[in-house]
């Protein structure tokens, strides 16, 4: 299986699908998942002629469960190692949830010299946590609850997320398949305990506002307006307002995990954006 090695000797697993001659699309996954969560979109885009790269963040999936480095600066530097090692250019970076933070921080730290486009899907920027200068954010008690659940019974915590708010399965009339919910649990349990625990702070308390200000390439923001994990007003709406000339697509009634609940719509929208400037 393919890996790249980071400066601290972590091994980052990645998938490389589609023709090597295709324009590269790099997919960054959410917490506490891995690159398998992108398989529907990866197959679709690869079949449409794009080279699709999807990696497992350090501490997740098949990548090294490092003790340290479970924060956004290191995640972004790992992404840079992947892009530089594979010598990818004219890249479209697509980040889902926590992966959106990783993509934003990559631009903030490494610029857009290799980047043609950015897509944020149900993404955590600009800043999830409620602070004095971000009064509309999510109170810290919500994240402390996830931390407490992770320490007490992380398996059940992941099950509760999958069965409830992540896919909107707790909404009247909504039924998400057992297979989709089981896949979330399985991927989550493959993450390192410390890695996933520390990543809660990384996705919730990192301020990505300066990173969004640094994005100077065409950007698409996609968010469901019934996202119970990253509320629309906190995430997609605020990001699209901050990024210069960003385009916002709102999925009415959609939950957080639209990669699984709205795969056809998301695939079409990604393909339309990719081909709009090709």
- Annotated catalytic residues are 97, 227, 256
C-alpha 114: how far from chain center: 19
Distances in whole angstroms, Cα of residue 217 to Cα of each of 34, 119, 213, 221: 26, 10, 11, 13
SS3 at position 192: coil
Helix, strand, or coil (residue 220): strand
Peptide bond into 32 cis (omega under 30): yes
Bridge partners of 12?
4
**Strand 3-5, strand 11-17: pairing:** antiparallel
Q: For residue 142, which of 204, 96, 233 has the smallest C-alpha distance? A: 204
Crossing angle of helices 263-276/39-47, nearest 10°? 40
Q: For residue 54, count other CB atoms closer than 10 A to its CB.
A: 24
Q: Distance between alpha carbon 211 and the CA centroid of its chain, in Å?
A: 15
Give the full edge-to-edge strand order of the sheet including 219-224. Answer: 3-5, 11-17, 51-55, 24-28, 91-96, 115-121, 219-224, 247-251
Torsion of Cα atoms, 187 then 140 then 220 then 248, to 10°: 130
- Tokens, residue 57: 């963040």
β-pairing, 51-55 with 11-17?
A: antiparallel
């Amino acid at each position: 299986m393919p890996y790249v090695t980071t400066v601290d000797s972590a091994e980052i697993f990645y998938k490389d699908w589609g023709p090597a001659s295709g324009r590269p699309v790099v997919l960054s996954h959410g917490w506490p998942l891995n690159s398998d969560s992108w398989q529907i979109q990866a197959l679709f885009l690869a079949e449409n002629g794009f080279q699709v790269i999807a990696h497992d963040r350090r501490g997740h999936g098949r990548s090294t469960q490092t003790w340290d480095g479970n924060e956004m600066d290191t995640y972004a530097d790992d992404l840079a190692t992947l892009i530089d090692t594979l010598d990818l250019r004219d890249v479209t970076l697509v980040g889902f949830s926590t992966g959106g933070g990783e993509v934003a921080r990559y631009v903030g730290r490494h610029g857009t010299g290799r980047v043609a486009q950015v897509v944020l899907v149900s993404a955590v920027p600009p800043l999830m946590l409620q602070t004095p200068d971000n009064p509309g954010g999510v109170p810290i008690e919500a994240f402390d609850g996830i931390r407490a659940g992770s320490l007490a019974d992380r398996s059940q915590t992941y099950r509760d997320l999958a069965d409830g708010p992540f896919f909107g399965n707790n909404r009247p009339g909504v039924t998400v398949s057992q297979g989709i919910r089981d896949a979330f649990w399985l991927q989550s349990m493959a993450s390192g305990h410390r890695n996933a625990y520390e990543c809660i702070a990384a996705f919730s308390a990192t301020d990505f506002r300066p990173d969004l200000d640094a994005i100077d390439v065409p950007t698409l923001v996609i968010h469901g307006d019934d996202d119970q994990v990253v509320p629309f007003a906190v995430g997609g709406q605020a990001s699209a307002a901050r990024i210069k000339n960003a385009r916002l697509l709102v999925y009415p009634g959609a939950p957080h995990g639209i990669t699984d609940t709205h795969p056809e719509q998301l695939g079409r929208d990604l393909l339309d954006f990719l081909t709009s400037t090709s």
